[in-house]
């Protein structure tokens, strides 16, 4: 186990405080038939600014180890922060150009962030969570696991909290919430969002809260999610040595458009496209795989006519390098377009194609997360969306005949888009922020039948107020998009989030 030295550089005075951090950091991982964990040697502990291209933001609070028997192995704890540490920028090439409302208000001042870890397991495990300096030893009576329907056994030993997670053949996804580390979101901000009494120089500061500032949601400051997934079937792990597999070299990826193979495979490691580029796949590619321990800063656009198209693996696809609503047709700048602003998943797929998406985690989406040109039958399972701090960060389209199951959504906007018939949605854990309903049926007149949703757990929501254009609701229908300007109550601060999709 290595004990890193953490240095803080304090303002203009060249004054570095160095100390041996008590956080154990290591790379003692495991990969056997019971348990698989992984580690990023380029983890960067940095809760405030963008991380280096080749680095992965690592939790500045939590370390996690997992044991299937008596031995604990490290499981990397990722972290996502609002705007990924960039300012309120409008262009990927100009950090000083900023201003457009993006749904982030007091989060920076409040220190809001979201950490997560992911591992694969095939037996009961114990998850050991250790918080860093400055936190009291955990008290299980003051830790809430959400969904609260889960009844995992907790115990403590010194600074560590232990949670027993029984094996399940469905992914277990839950939030661990320390009750001594919560932030109360209070309404009444002049921008329609939240206020804070912490930093007079920060946004939406008030000297003290009054009755104009009701509490609208209480969430962990340092959120922590645990994703425990069963091992995937071999049919969902491509053979890396096949000549039909293109293995992406680590580091900067300039283009995938000349790939001639049918599978694009990201092995463990860090990859980045940059804020003005994304992963456009060549027409030969019908399968993209993110191996556990891969971290890809980019977005995927398919261009295949294959009948079966896939995205698999337990890696991360992160939109952290993009500006809010990055418009591909306008240099990836913040210029919202329903047609050309970047989705994490997009491309040519149509209704005669089937898309299987199993395993990936999406981080820091810049916009709606999935829209294809047509409406492929989509089978999405064991899928995670984290760090959706921007406003218009919708869930996926649920095209006709689709099945969605075992999904965690941290989501800013329309979460489940029930625009089409004959769909089945099961076992969702939803952490909603401020915009639009969780089940969105509206934006256009629709004839929809046979939509089934079951076992939906909403663990958080913080709607700024009642609103008929962007309904603050579990199930709602926004008015016809084409008539929306006729609606007199549209608050301008929320009007930017209107979408056809
Ligand atoms: C752990 O770190 C050491 C030293 O950096 C390195 O040699 C080793 O390959 C790493 N092991 C794993 C499993 O990453
Ligand atoms: C960035 O934007 C600011 C504000 O519009 C402008 O003054 C500056 O020249 C721009 N910088 C570059 C490198 O374009
Ligand atoms: C609450 O405080 C704000 C100033 O932060 C003030 O403008 C407002 O009138 C107050 N509201 C009430 C109900 O006292
Ligand atoms: C693709 O290959 C062609 C021909 O070799 C080359 O001219 C082009 O620059 C390549 N495109 C990309 C994006 O790498
Ligand atoms: C998709 O492939 C077709 C050829 O099949 C090509 O003409 C088109 O430019 C490609 N689109 C993108 C976005 O690469
Ligand atoms: C925004 O992008 C569109 C392309 O989607 C372009 O036509 C338009 O000129 C851009 N608007 C501004 C203000 O740059
Ligand atoms: C699927 O439909 C599109 C038009 O939507 C068509 O261009 C394509 O050839 C069809 N593909 C197959 C495999 O039938
Ligand atoms: C309802 O949708 C499901 C798919 O979710 C489909 O299997 C079933 O046949 C549909 N039922 C009817 C009556 O169309
Ligand atoms: C919905 O179905 C009804 C009855 O079939 C039809 O009259 C109406 O035009 C349909 N509306 C839309 C928006 O498709």
The answer to whether residues 181 and 270 belong to one domain is no
Q: In 350-415, which ranges are E strands? A: 354-358, 361-363, 370-372, 377-386, 403-411
Q: Is the dihedral of CA 476, 424, 325, 375 positive or negative?
A: negative
The atom number, within ligand 7, closest to the CA of 306 reads: 13
Angle at 235 between CA 233 and CA 238, to 5 degrees: 115
236 occurs within a structural domain: no
Domain assignment of residue 491, yes or no? no
Query: Which entry of 382, 394, 406, 414 is annotated as an active-site residue?
Result: 394
Give the number of other Cβ atoms within 10 Å of residue 218's Cβ.
13
Asked whether 308 lines ligand 7 (CB < 6 A), one says: no
Check whether residue 186 and residue 276 sit in a common domain.
no
Using the mean position of ligand 7's atoms as its centre, give its distance from the Cα of residue 295 in Å. Answer: 33
Instruction: Decide if 66 is inside a domain.
Output: yes
Q: Both 249 and 214 in a single domain?
A: no
Atom 7 of ligand 7, residue of closest alpha carbon = 305
Residue 371: which residues within 8 A CB-CB, separation 6 or more? 343, 345, 346, 397, 501
Q: With a 6 A CB cut-off, is 71 part of the ligand 4 pocket?
A: no
Indicate whether 449 and 302 sit together in one domain: yes
Same domain, 169 and 270: no
- CB of 406 closer than 8 Å to CB of 383: yes
Give the closest residue (by CA) to ligand 1 atom 1: 27
Task: Report CA(284)–ligand 5 centroid distance (Å).
Answer: 10
Residues with a CB atom less than 6 Å from ligand 8 = 401, 422-424, 450
Q: How far apart are CA 97 and CA 91, in angstroms?
A: 7
Q: Which residue, 240, 307, 321, is CA-closest to 276? A: 321
3-state secondary structure 240-262: CCCCCEEECCCEECCCECCCCCC
Q: Please tell me whether residues 224 and 254 are part of one structural domain.
A: no
**CB of 158 shorter than 6 A to ligand 9:** no
The CATH number given to whatever domain includes residue 250 is: 2.160.20.10
The candidate with the shortest Cα–Cα distance to 280, out of 339, 343, 233, is 343
Looking only at the bridges linking them, the beta strands covering 316-318 and 160-165 are unpaired
Determine which helix (DSSP H) or strand (DSSP E) holds 128, and give its type and residue range. Answer: strand 125-131
Ligand 6 atom nearest to 337, measured from its CA: 5
Q: Are residues 116 and 191 part of one domain? A: yes
Domain finish residue from 228, 253, 288:
228
Provide the number of structural domains found in the chain: 2
342 part of a folded domain: yes
Q: How far is the CA of 500 from the centre of ligand 9 (A)?
A: 19
Do 217 and 297 fall into the same domain?
no
Say whether both 42 and 190 belong to one domain.
Answer: yes
For a ligand 1 pocket test, name from 2, 25, 27, 76 the mutation site with the most ligand atoms within 8 angstroms of its C-beta: 27
Domain assignment present for 234: no
What is the 305 CA–ligand 4 centroid distance (Å)?
22
Indicate which CATH number applies to the domain containing 46.
2.60.350.10
Does the beta carbon of 42 lie inside 6 Å of ligand 1? no
Structural domain contains residue 141: yes
Task: Indicate which residue's Cα is closest to atom 13 of ligand 4.
Answer: 255
Does the beta carbon of 100 sit less than 6 angstroms from any atom of ligand 6? no
297 lies in the same domain as 401: yes
Give the tens place of pLDDT for each residue, 194-250: 999 999 999 999 999 999 999 999 999 999 999 999 999 999 999 999 999 999 999
Q: Give dist(CA 313, CA 238) in Å, integer.
A: 9
CA of residue 98 to ligand 2 center, whole Å: 10
Residue 496 placed within a domain? no
Q: CA 16, CA 14: separation in Å to the nearest integer?
A: 6
Q: CA-to-CA distance for 221 and 219, rounded, in angstroms?
A: 6
> Of the residues 102, 371, 413, 436, which is catalytic?
413
Residue 495 domain-assigned (yes or no): no
Locus of tokens 């254009």: 469
DSSP 109: H
CA distance 191 to 494: 9
Quote the tokens at residue 251: 């580091």
End position of a domain, from candidates 228, 257, 274: 228
Q: Does the Cβ of 96 fall within 6 Å of ligand 9?
A: no
Task: Report how far ligand 3's centroid is from the alpha carbon of 186 (Å).
Answer: 13
Catalytic site residue 413?
yes
pTM of the model: 0.90
Q: Which ligand has the minimum distance to the alpha carbon of residue 339?
A: 6
Q: Residues 300, 161: one domain?
A: no
Q: Which atom of ligand 9 is nearest to the CA of 444?
A: 13
- Is any atom of ligand 6 closer than 6 Å to the C-beta of 338? no
- Taking 70 as the pLDDT cut, the residues of the chain under it are 1-26, 98-99, 483-501
Same domain (yes/no): 52, 92: yes
Q: How far is the CA of 346 from the centre of ligand 6 (A)?
A: 20
Contact in structure between 364 and 84 (CB atoms under 8 Å)? yes
- Report the greatest alpha carbon distance in the chain: 66
Rg (CA), the chain: 22
Which pLDDT value is given to residue 466? 73
Rounded CA separation 296/290 (Å): 8
Distances (CA, A) of 416 to 311, 461, 467: 20, 14, 19
- Domain span at residue 212 reads 6-228
Cβ atoms 237, 207 nearer than 8 A: no
**Cα separation, 38 vs 117, whole angstroms:** 10
């Amino acid at each position: 186990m290595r004990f890193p030295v953490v240095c803080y550089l304090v303002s203009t005075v060249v004054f570095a405080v160095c100390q041996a951090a008590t956080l154990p950091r290591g790379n003692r991982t495991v990969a056997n038939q019971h348990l698989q964990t992984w580690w990023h040697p380029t983890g960067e502990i940095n809760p405030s600014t963008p991380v280096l291209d080749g680095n992965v933001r690592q939790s500045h609070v939590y370390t996690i180890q997992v044991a299937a028997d008596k031995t604990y192995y490290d499981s990397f704890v990722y972290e996502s922060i609002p705007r990924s540490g960039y300012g309120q920028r409008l262009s990927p090439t100009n950090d000083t150009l900023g201003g457009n409302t993006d749904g982030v208000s007091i989060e920076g001042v409040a220190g809001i962030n979201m950490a997560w870890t992911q591992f694969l397991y095939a037996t009961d495990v114990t998850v050991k969570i250790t918080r860093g300096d400055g936190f009291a030893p955990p008290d299980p009576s003051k830790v809430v696991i959400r969904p609260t329907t889960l009844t995992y056994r907790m115990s403590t030993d010194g600074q560590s909290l232990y949670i027993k997670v029984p094996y399940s053949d469905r992914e277990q996804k839950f939030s661990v919430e320390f009750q001594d580390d919560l932030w109360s979101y209070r309404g009444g901000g002049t921008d329609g969002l939240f206020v804070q009494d912490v930093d007079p120089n920060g946004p939406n500061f008030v000297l003290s809260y009054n009755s104009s500032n009701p509490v609208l949601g209480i969430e962990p400051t340092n959120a922590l999610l645990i994703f425990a997934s069963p091992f995937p079937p071999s049919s969902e792990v491509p053979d890396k040595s096949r000549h039909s597999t293109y293995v992406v070299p680590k580091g900067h990826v300039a283009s995938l458009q000349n790939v001639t193979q049918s599978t694009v495979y990201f092995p463990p490691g860090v990859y980045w496209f940059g804020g003005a580029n994304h992963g456009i796949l060549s027409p030969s590619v019908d399968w993209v795989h993110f191996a556990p321990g891969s971290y890809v800063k980019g977005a995927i656009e398919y261009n295949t006519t294959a009948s079966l198209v896939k995205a698999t693996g337990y890696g991360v696809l992160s939109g952290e390098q993009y500006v809010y609503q990055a418009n591909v047709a306008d240099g990836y700048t913040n210029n919202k377009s329903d047609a050309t602003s970047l989705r994490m998943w997009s491309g040519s797929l149509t209704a005669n194609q089937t898309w299987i998406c199993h395993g990936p985690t999406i981080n820091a989406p810049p916009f709606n997360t999935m829209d294809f040109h047509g409406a492929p039958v989509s089978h999405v399972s064991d899928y995670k969306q984290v760090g959706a701090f921007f406003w218009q960060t919708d869930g996926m389209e649920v095209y006709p005949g689709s099945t969605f199951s075992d999904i965690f959504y941290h989501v800013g906007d329309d979460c489940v888009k029930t625009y089409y018939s004959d769909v089945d949605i099961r076992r969702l854990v939803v952490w909603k922020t401020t915009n639009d309903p969780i089940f969105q049926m509206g934006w256009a007149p629709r004839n929809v039948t046979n939509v089934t949703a079951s076992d939906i757990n909403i663990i958080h929501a913080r709607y700024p107020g009642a609103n008929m254009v962007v309904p603050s609701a579990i199930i709602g229908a926004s008015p016809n998009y084409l008539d929306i300007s006729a609606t007199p109550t549209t608050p301008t601060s929320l009007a930017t989030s209107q979408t056809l999709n």
